[in-house]
Structure 1
Amino acid sequence: MALMNSPQTYGWVTVILHWVVAAGIIGLFALGYWMVGLTYYDPWYKTGPDVHRSVGILLFITMLVRVAWRLLTPSPAAVSRHRRWEVLAAHLAHGLLYLLVFVAMISGYLISTADGTAIHVFGWFKVPSLTGRIQGMEDIAGVVHYWSTWTLIVLAALHALAGLKHHFVDRDPTLTRMLGRS
């Protein structure tokens, strides 16, 4: 497999970035869903959010790399058998996925830094608050974060189902291209 994308298939950097981001999003969603049920006396009450924020910041950096990489090496052309509406739906879904990932990450950042404190990323570095203290920002950002993450996970599930449909029903190489095979 080549480093960069070709007109027919994805390169290994794109494949790795895709699956790392997918695993990160699913993991963060699962952790966030689990965290809301923790009680004050649970040992993960503070640790869970710290891990969630740290992984979220690392995933944000990964997404910036992914966007830069996508600009450097365009995606392969659509499979020739795809209908026009499928190609348009795929472009729309990918655009929405990228948008929702960034909305979820930025709103999560705003929740965490609404009191003016920095986010400590696994003790490696700090991401400072860019807004300072803004009364009520965590509430608004919390609503945005909640709905953007639920919408993201539903759209990601539809994205995965579409890949499976292409593989098992249409029997085209859409899914295998993102698995590193053509």
Structure 2
Amino acid sequence: MSARNSEVTYGWVAILLHWTVAVAIVGLFVLGFWMVDLSYYDPWYRQGPDIHRSVGIILFLVMLFRIGWRVVSPAPRPLANHRRWEILAAHAAHWLLYLLIFVAMVSGYLISTADGSSIHVFGVFEVPSVTGQIKGMEDTAGLVHYWSTWALVVLAGIHALGALKHHLIDRDKTLRRMIGLS
């Protein structure tokens, strides 16, 4: 399998990026949903958010690479059996997914750095605050983060259902192309 996409198939880099981002998004959502109810005395009270922030920063870097890769290696052409509305809906959904991912990551960053502190990424490097201290920013960013992550997970679920529809009902290669079996 080639690293780059062809006109009919995804390369291994695009496939790896797709599934890495998917797993990270689900993992971050589950961890975030779980950790908001932790008490101060829970051992995960600090560790959960540290992991969440670190993975979020790494995901940001992966997404920047993913967008660059998409420019260098464009997606394959739509399959011949795809209707025009399906193609337009898929393009809109993909760009909205990208937008929601970045909105979620930036708002999460703003929550964590609203007090002027840096984010420590697994103790390897730090991402400094670019805003300094801004009173109330964590509340506004928190609302944006909450709603953008819910919208992201709902849209990702619809995206997955669309892939299953293509696989189980249309019986085309849409899903097989993204798992490297086309």
TM-score band w.r.t. shorter chain: over 0.9
* Displacement after TM superposition at 1:37 (Å): 1.1
User: Does residue 120 of the first structure (1) align with residue 138 of the second (2)?
Assistant: no
Backbone CA RMSD of aligned residues: 0.4
1:148 matched to which residue of 2?
Answer: 148
Separation in structure 2 between the aligned mates of residue 123 and residue 115 of structure 1, nearest angstrom: 20
Structure 1: which 4+ aligned runs deviate by more than 3 Å?
none
Separation in structure 2 between the aligned mates of residue 102 and residue 12 of structure 1, nearest angstrom: 23
- The one-letter amino acid of 2:92's match is L
2:181 matched to which residue of 1?
Answer: 181
Count of aligned pairs between the two proteins = 182
Separation in structure 1 between the aligned mates of residue 123 and residue 144 of structure 2, nearest angstrom: 27
Q: Helix, strand or coil for the counterpart of 1:126? A: strand
* Displacement after TM superposition at 1:126 (Å): 0.1
1:162 matched to which residue of 2?
Answer: 162
2:40 matched to which residue of 1?
Answer: 40
User: How do 1:50-61 residues align onto structure 2 when only pairs under 5 Å count?
Assistant: 50-61=50-61
Separation in structure 1 between the aligned mates of residue 132 and residue 40 of structure 2, nearest angstrom: 26
- The one-letter amino acid of 1:96's match is L
Separation in structure 1 between the aligned mates of residue 181 and residue 34 of structure 2, nearest angstrom: 35
Separation in structure 2 between the aligned mates of residue 91 and residue 134 of structure 1, nearest angstrom: 37
Instruction: String of CA shifts for 1:110-144, please: whole Å, max 9, x gaps.
Output: 00000000000000000000000000000000000
Separation in structure 1 between the aligned mates of residue 152 and residue 108 of structure 2, nearest angstrom: 14
TM-score, normalisation: structure 2: 0.99
* Displacement after TM superposition at 1:159 (Å): 0.3
User: How do 1:1-182 residues align onto structure 2 when only pairs under 5 Å count?
Assistant: 1-182=1-182
Separation in structure 2 between the aligned mates of residue 36 and residue 124 of structure 1, nearest angstrom: 25
* Displacement after TM superposition at 1:40 (Å): 0.9
- The one-letter amino acid of 1:73's match is S
Structure 1 residues not aligned, in runs of 5+: none
Separation in structure 2 between the aligned mates of residue 4 and residue 181 of structure 1, nearest angstrom: 15
Q: Helix, strand or coil for the counterpart of 1:34? A: helix
- The one-letter amino acid of 1:10's match is Y
Q: Helix, strand or coil for the counterpart of 2:42? A: coil
Aligned identity (percent) is 67
